[in-house]
Every structure is written in structure tokens, then in C-alpha cells.
Amino acid sequence: MSEYVLRTFHLTKKYQRDKALDDIAITIKKGEIYGLIGQNGAGKSTLLRLITGLAFPTSGSIELFGQMQSYVSREVQKRIGAIIEQPALFPNMSASENLEVHRLQKGVPGKGKVGEMLELVGLDHVGKKKVKHFSLGMKQRLGLALALLSDPEFLILDEPTNGLDPIGIVEWRELIKKLNREKGLTVLISSHILSELHQLATSFAIIHKGKLLEELTAKELDDKCKQHLYIKVDDPKKGAAIIERQLATTDYEVMPDGMIKLFRYVDDVRTVSQTLTQNGLIIEHLSINGDSLEGYFSKLVGGIDGE
């Protein structure tokens, strides 16, 4: 069995002459929570629509569950649960009535499934309350229950936290983590706010104006954003040796250009500069570096806009 739930190759979608997606290659492994980040109009929804078979690519290809798709077949669609547009809810019905209608439409066996889904998404206490009287958070949860009805392996969510308050966002995050942990669901989730997915996703893709700017693991993202001292000395090898011996840490990196990133002593620049100079090194540069998540995102996106 393939370790990949999704791989896209040179995926491109044109609307008239404009490319909404341009040569996108992403890889999602089984069990991952994959965050798709991009500003409004970046192409997130378009990508999710292609993956779920709601739209067709202009060129390129999609592999789902290890099988190349010329179009996303119904068999494959059944293995995916998605909320891409607003879920079709009947406002005058209760949560359980909505679920029952969808269960029958989808041919999902077992009446008990409705109660199971309500419990799973934390709506088991809402009783007969009509959906039109639900909060946005409750509607989102019900949408999720609908997407989970047929026990999918791969859950795709397009900006599910849009419009939720901070507490709603935290609750939603915990719910997704629970589904990932307990049901082994692989999740693809989009947002225009990187920090919103930071505590949830295990991998990220950052897209901008239809292009993939970066695909990286959560650890790689953390390393990029981790505060550090950025040091240039006249002899980087000696600098590294002094850091290990005199400052007693191996938490540093010597970059290919000879710059040293020291992830300790960020609050004690003085000790570092004194130690280096006392050991005969000339410090040519010393600064505290490291972006906030949003700073990193803006730089990445701004770099492309500024080209």
C-alpha cells in the first residue's frame, strides 16, 4: 500500500488566460495533517476542487491513494470527506435529521451512524434545535459530521475556521487532532493564516498567486522561525570550536557561506561576543535573527511580489 495519500505532478489550472494554479507538486503522506497556506486568491480552493474532482486540471496529474487519476472516480471520492463550499444543510431540520437525510442519500448503512457522528463532533447535546438557530461553529461541526459519514480516510477542509472566534478556533483544532489521532485520518486543511495552523499541521505548503513557494515540515518551519544569533567571524571553523568548548553548546549550525547560527545565548549576546573576541576572533557581524510565523510568511510572499 502506498505511503502517500496524495501526490500532484505539474498540476496546472487555467481560467481563460489566467493560471489559477501553476505547476503544483505537493506530497501528503498517510497520517499527516497538511496545512495549505495562501492569501486570498492564492489558489487554495482551486487546488482542493481539483483534488476532490469538483473541477478538472488543465494539465498535470493527481495521484490519490497510490493510484494515478485521469479523473477522480466515484470510488476514490468515497474515500475522501470534504468541506469545500458551505455544506448543504437543511435549515428547518435538526442536526440528526440533516445527518439522516445525508446518510440515506449516500447509502451509508446503520441508523446508529447518526448518533455516532454527532458524538464525534461534539453535537450530541443539541437535541431538536433547528440548524437555522445554530451558531457558525455548530454549523461547521455539523458540516464535518456530514463529511465523516462514510468513514473517509482523507479529510479535506477549505478554510474551516473562517469566521470562528478564538475559542471556536481552538476547539476546532482539538477536534481535528482527535480525528487524526483516533481515526487515523489524513487531513488537508487550508487557511490564509499560517499561525492558525501552526499548532495543528505536521507539514505545510505555502502557495501564492498559483505557485508553490515552499513545502516544508513543521520542524523545518520551526527551525526557520527559531530565534538565533547570526554571527560572522573571520574563521568560522574556529568560531564553531570555541562555541562548543567555551560556551558548552552544540546547538548551532555553520551555514555554507560560513555564517554561524547559534540557537542559545539569544538573551546573552555579551557573553558570546566577549568569548569570541577573547579567543582571538574578529566579529564581522552579530545580530539576533528569526521571524515570527507571520513575518516569515510575509517575507516569503513579499519576496515574490517584489521580484
Where on the chain is the footprint of ligand ATP (CB under 6 A)? 15, 20, 38, 40-46, 192
Smallest separation, CB 253 to ligand ATP (Å): 34
Which three three-digit cell numbers place residue 241? 570550536
Q: How far apart are CA 214 and CA 92, in angstroms?
A: 44
Name the residue nearer to ligand ATP (CB basis): 51 or 262: 51
Cβ proximity to ligand ATP, 40 vs 70, nearer residue: 40
Closest to ligand ATP by CB, 85 vs 165, is 85
Instruction: Supply the minimum distance, in Å, between the C-beta of residue 3 and ligand ATP.
Output: 28
Largest CA distance in the chain: 78
- Min. distance of Cβ 164 from ligand ATP in angstroms? 15
- Of 159, 153, 20, 163, residue with least CA distance to 83: 159
Query: Closest approach of Cβ 121 to ligand ATP, in Å?
Result: 24
Residue closer to ligand ATP, measured from CB, 162 or 202 = 162
Return the number of the residue (58 or 279) whose C-beta is nearest ligand ATP.
58
Q: Which helix (H) or strand (E) holds 148?
A: helix 136-148
Cβ proximity to ligand ATP, 98 vs 191, nearer residue: 191
Question: What's the helix, strand, coil split of the chain in %, to 5?
Answer: 35, 25, 35
Nearest-5° Cα angle at 174, 172 to 178? 115
Instruction: For residue 1, count CB atoms less than 10 angstroms from its CB and return exposed for 0-12, middle for 13-18, buried for 19 or more.
Output: exposed
Minimal distance in Å, beta carbon 190 to ligand ATP?
7
In angstroms, give the least distance from the CB of 194 to ligand ATP. Answer: 13
Please name the amino acid found at residue 288.
I
In order of 32, 232, 242, 245, the CA distances from 267 in angstroms are 35, 18, 19, 19
Cα 1 to chain center, whole Å? 24
